[in-house]
Amino acid sequence: MHELVQAVFGSDEKTALHQLIDALRVLDKFYFLRNEILHVFADYCQQYQKPAYFYYSSAIGKLINYTHEIILEAESTWFVVRPRIGSQQVWRLRPDFTGFDLMTPQAFLDVSDRLVNRYQPHILEIDLHPFYQGSPTIDDPRNIGQGLAFLNHYLCNQLLTNPEYWVEALFKALHRLHYNNIPLLISDRISSGTQLAKRLKQALKFLSQRSPNESYEKFRVDLQELGFEAGWGNTAARVSETLELFERLIDTPQPAILEAFVSRIPAVFRVVLISIHGWVGQQDVLGRDETLGQVIYVLEQARSLENKLQAEIKLAGLDLLGIKPHVIILTRLIPNCEGTECNLRLEKVQNTENAWILRVPFREFNPEITNNWISKFDIWPYLETFAEDAEKELLAEFQGCPSLIIGNYSDGNLVASLLSRSLKVTQCNIAHSLEKPKYLFSNLYWQDLEDQYHFSAQYTADIISMNAADFIITSSYQEIVGTPDSMGQYESYKCFTMPQLYHVIDGIDLFSPKFNMVPPGVDDKNFFPYTQKEDRDPSLSAQVIDLLFHREDPHIFGKLNNPNKRPIFAILPITFIKNLTGLAECFGRSQALQERCNLIIVTSKLHPDAATNPEDTREIQRLHDIINQYHLDGNIRWLGMRLPSNYIGEAYRVIGDRQGIYVHFARFEAFGRSILEAMISGLPTFASKFGGALEIIADQENGFHLNPTDLEETANKILNFLDQCDTHPEHWNEISEEMSQRIRNSYNWQSHTSQLLSLAKMFSFWNFIAPENNESRDRYMETLFHLIYKPRAEKILEKHLKF
């Protein structure tokens, strides 16, 4: 970056830089983000008639394209430059334009505070960098999010360079595996790694003389005499394969062998999935609008985990010992549950043998609050005592300690951290979406937003839990470090200010192997291609067609003048972030779209008075206003009702029957469950380029990525696709099949669960043999919890106690 800066000052482009800064100052603003900066630079290039190459290829053009933020002080100009993914620098342009100075994060955060008139000379600085020094780290940004593959290579290299130490480490890691005091894999008859290597050869020789299909039970005693306990396999062939993998791993360590061996190790039996603030239930309730996707995710993950663990236990031969998997979804019990079953302490997860929803109530404090549903923004005062109570309940239900704790969302991740710390259990975090990047400048103006959103508690909780976690699952690469043009969700926690509260100098190591991309799957019982006619229920189809196109109902708005026009379909909660109002306005502004298509929207609410918060009330009313403004009555259907999953699945397929399209027009979408559902159903899917859809819809050149801030471009992209369908009748079918096939290949629960369990086993092993800085790191997190988080949470509680 230094060379690029010098190139600007070593040429006549220095004058261009001066003119550009003057152009920014004329706008009477002090803070600019990347899109604004590029727009001003493009206008500058046009005004001064710069040649075409200047915008991209000149030194100043490259500098501006790397710049993500600019702050204008009275004299100096500050540039936040991102020369590569996962890395940023701060440069200050001197007042006299004699040069650029590379600045520290502290200096930049100070100037940010001054920008909002909340600077103080002495402020708490949070710096996690020392706790990651000396740890294995990924070098290439392209490999961020592939922590498991990195650790496999790293450990194999260690085995090669120091085989004696690592063979002993492997022995100790396997020797400690037990289930309810039943030893697994290796007994006390083997006392060292060296002895284990010798016994392996004896065991393999013994097994070579047995029939491959012979049951483990028949030769169990013989293996026990050699020091091998249950867990290696259920037949002679399976035990032999697993032992051979282990022997090969010791003799010629390779990542593929290590991964295959670890996948066979029976180390996970009891799993906790934490999802706290939603209505977690199955009958008549699947979360509120803000938690619907999370609840569906957790239920599907629980079913998949139990199935996979059952298969692993059987293949390991442990079913002979009566060992069964046990999966618990931990959530809160809600006494005033509005006719749902969210007031039941224990509920079995449908279509499972031993997966359960365990509901633990919040301690009473003020029953007017704690007996009711509590928004994700207000839940923070109750989490510590919830974790204490939940620990006792979990130990009682499991009759032992869990093997793995998985947190979901900010609140669930914080509770996972508290439980993991107390129980000494491997912790996995899943964020689904982090609020900080969704609410622009929310950290800078946190004091103004505190009464409604309580971001001070939430962002502190995020820092604590993401650093305390043993590993973090993300659905996409951009969730971690974004794209060359945008910052990732986790990356936004790297360096930021909460003025007059604290500065985060280094909040997370983005190159840590703890980050792993493990995308979710789709419920293939309810969501499958529209072409699978044999699996569709004609009666259900008729009901859904009537709902989408014809039925009159107090919860349905609009009567279509021509129901046979190609449908544009959207099914999302009606929130500001999901931006259904933007989609309606795009449709309303385009007469061409209205002539060729109908817009069909499915949300959970139709009327403003049904909303649970002011933001959603405004959004519902705004959608009504847009429909009236553009006179869309005969071209739009708006269903404001919660549909069961089987109806939603059939709705996608009914739209597919009519060669419709799906549009997801969110201002930002961390991943997008409905995108997966629409694509696997066979719908050509258009989705926001701000978020996970960039990776779900792989081909970025075919126009299926939309900019929700550009309504005209969006309409043109959809119309261009429709033109191609008209001129080439098979085009719709080709795109439909491509999208459906992509989801089937890349987004399925079987793959998700296999990767998740491999990660749990590997990081449990890693923490055992190389605990690094974990204890000191966790002490640091405890300090943040008690000195920052708890006082912020107590302020919320004081407010709640006054209700």
pLDDT value at residue 702: 52
pTM, two decimal places = 0.90
The answer to whether the Cα torsion of 313, 319, 323, 326 is positive or negative is positive
CA distance 69 to 391: 44
pLDDT value at residue 286: 62
pLDDT value at residue 699: 59
Find where tokens 């938690």 sit.
Answer: 291
CA distance 801 to 43: 54
CA distance 88 to 268: 39
* E strand residue ranges, 607-694: 636-640, 661-664, 685-688
Pick 147-264's CATH classification: 1.20.120.1230, 1.20.1090.10, 1.10.340.70, 3.90.600.10.
1.20.120.1230
* E strand residue ranges, 315-425: 326-333, 346-348, 355-361, 404-408
- Amino acid letter, residue 59: A
pLDDT value at residue 396: 96
Q: Fold for 2-103, please state it.
A: Nuclear Transport Factor 2; Chain: A, (3.10.450)
Please indicate whether the domains covering 270-493+505-521+759-801 and 533-747 agree at the CATH topology level: yes
The ranges of the chain with pLDDT < 70 are 1, 283-292, 699-703, 771-773
- State how far the alpha carbon of 62 is from the alpha carbons of 3, 20, 46, 53, 381, in Å: 12, 14, 17, 11, 47
Q: How many residues does the chain have?
A: 803
Q: What CATH number was assigned to the domain covering residues 533-747?
A: 3.40.50.2000
Long-range CB pairs of 689-693 (<8 Å, 24+ gap) are 690/486, 690/666, 691/476, 691/478, 691/666, 692/475, 692/476, 692/478, 692/479, 693/664, 693/669
Answer yes or no: are the C-beta atoms of 727 and 510 closer than 8 Å.
no
Residues 455-484 have pLDDT tens digits of 999 999 999 999 999 999 998 898 999 888
CA distance 747 to 232: 30
Answer yes or no: are the C-beta atoms of 633 and 584 closer than 8 Å.
no
CA distance 800 to 803: 6
CA distance 532 to 653: 9
Architecture of domain 270-493+505-521+759-801: 3-Layer(aba) Sandwich (3.40)
- Amino acid letter, residue 230: A
CA distance 501 to 446: 10
CA nearest neighbour of 773 among 126, 125, 136: 136
pLDDT value at residue 68: 93
Find where tokens 């899943």 sit.
Answer: 430
pLDDT value at residue 580: 92
Domain ranges (residues) in the chain: 2-103, 147-264, 270-493+505-521+759-801, 533-747
pLDDT value at residue 772: 60
> How far from each other are the two terminal CA atoms of the chain, in whole angstroms?
55
Helices (H), 476-571: 478-481, 538-545
Helices and strands (DSSP H and E) totals, the chain: 33, 25
pLDDT value at residue 287: 61
> Other CB atoms closer than 10 Å to residue 33's CB: what's the count?
14
- Name the 3-class secondary structure at 339: coil
Answer yes or no: are the C-beta atoms of 556 and 639 closer than 8 Å.
yes
pLDDT value at residue 284: 60
> Other CB atoms closer than 10 Å to residue 802's CB: what's the count?
7
CA distance 224 to 10: 76
pLDDT value at residue 428: 97
Find where tokens 């397929």 sit.
Answer: 653
- State how far the alpha carbon of 772 is from the alpha carbons of 134, 135, 136, 305, 516, in Å: 8, 7, 10, 29, 19
Residues 293-312 have pLDDT tens digits of 788 889 999 999 999 999 99
pLDDT value at residue 575: 85
